[in-house]
Amino acid sequence: MEQYSGLSRIYDYLVAGVDFDAWIDYAEALLRHFGLQARSVADMACGTGNTAIPFARRGYKTFGIDIAGEMLALARAKSAAENLSITFLKQDMRHLRLPEKVDLITCFHDGLNYLLEIEDIKQTFHKVNENLLDRGAFIFDLNAVTWLSGSDNSITVVDDSDMTIIWETGYNKTANIWHINLTGFMREGEYYKKFAESHREKAYRPEEIASYLEDTGFMLLGSFNAFTFDAIHRKSIRHFYVAQKMITE
């Protein structure tokens, strides 16, 4: 997807300080907390593989799903460098179709915030349900309304020897949508190549997400302030949700 062609080249640079193994530690802790087990996982919006790869290292049968071919190419290269067996699939999460059903489906790093319409969220939840085994688990995070809505119209510049990145952010309170306009200049030999992209994320309230999960065949087991077992509160920046596929007779 053209939207990610530039971002894919700098994404790992931007998230270099993120401990993705700790994200998987937390996901496993959530599973244990609710007495759930998983041997297979599909990681949606996997990007360059930063959350899919730790699952594979731990012995899970792993699928990585992303809409951006440029991201997946990097993910495949990183996985191959570690001799990991991960099946990466270029798919829109709204039309998720795995080769086989899995025990666990995840979506991290606000991947679901990129779905700007309620029907897109519901359709994605429905497809997740279809691709889970009976009583399978769905673990995901979302950026919080209170954090996104606190964004002002600001410009940030990162200047490195091989790149310059400029991004402008703002929040549309009527639509509950946060936008990022990203411009970058990347060194290619003696020259710099420019790219420009726009990204948007929609903020959803916990009560909305709970309703959408119920509508699509899930039982919401819990929602938490990120990386804790504390309840979501007004100052939460990121929310985590744990849902289980309900069995219908």
Q: Give the tens place of pLDDT for each residue, 36-78.
A: 999 999 999 999 999 999 999 999 999 999 999 999 999 999 9
Quickly tell me which residue has 């640079």 as its tokens. Answer: 13
d(CA 229, CA 141): 14
- pLDDT score recorded for residue 74: 95
Residues near 204 by beta carbon (within 8 Å), at least 6 away in sequence: 112, 113, 121, 142, 145, 176
Confidence band, pLDDT 50/70/90 cuts, at residue 173: confident
d(CA 91, CA 45): 9
**CB of 88 within 8 A of CB of 64?**
yes
Average pLDDT (78-95) is 98
Q: Is 183 exposed, middle or buried (0-12, 13-18, 19+ CB in 10 A)?
A: middle
The domain made up of 147-202 has a fold known as N-terminal domain of TfIIb (2.20.25)
- Lookup: tokens for 214: 């119920």
Side-chain-side CA neighbours of 239 within 13 Å: the count stands at 26
Residues near 51 by beta carbon (within 8 Å), at least 6 away in sequence: 20, 23, 24, 43, 106, 108, 109
Mean pLDDT score of the chain = 90
Q: Is the pLDDT of residue 4 over 80?
A: no
* CA distance to 22, 48, 50, 82, 227, per residue, from 111 (Å): 18, 13, 13, 25, 17
- What's the angle, vertex CA 93, arms to CA 176 and CA 49, rounded to 5? 100
Confidence band, pLDDT 50/70/90 cuts, at residue 5: low
What residue ranges do the domains of the chain occupy? 2-143+204-245, 147-202
Class of 2-143+204-245 in CATH: alpha beta
Strand order in the sheet with 177-188: 154-159, 163-172, 177-188, 191-202
Model-wide pTM > 0.75: yes
**CB of 112 within 8 A of CB of 121?**
yes
**CB of 26 within 8 A of CB of 19?**
no
d(CA 167, CA 159): 12
Q: Give the tens place of pLDDT for each residue, 108-135.
A: 999 999 999 999 999 999 999 999 999 9
Q: Do domains 2-143+204-245 and 147-202 have the same CATH topology?
A: no
User: DSSP for 143-194?
Assistant: E-HHHHTT--SEEEEEE-SSEEEEEEEEEETTTTEEEEEEEEEEEETTEEEE
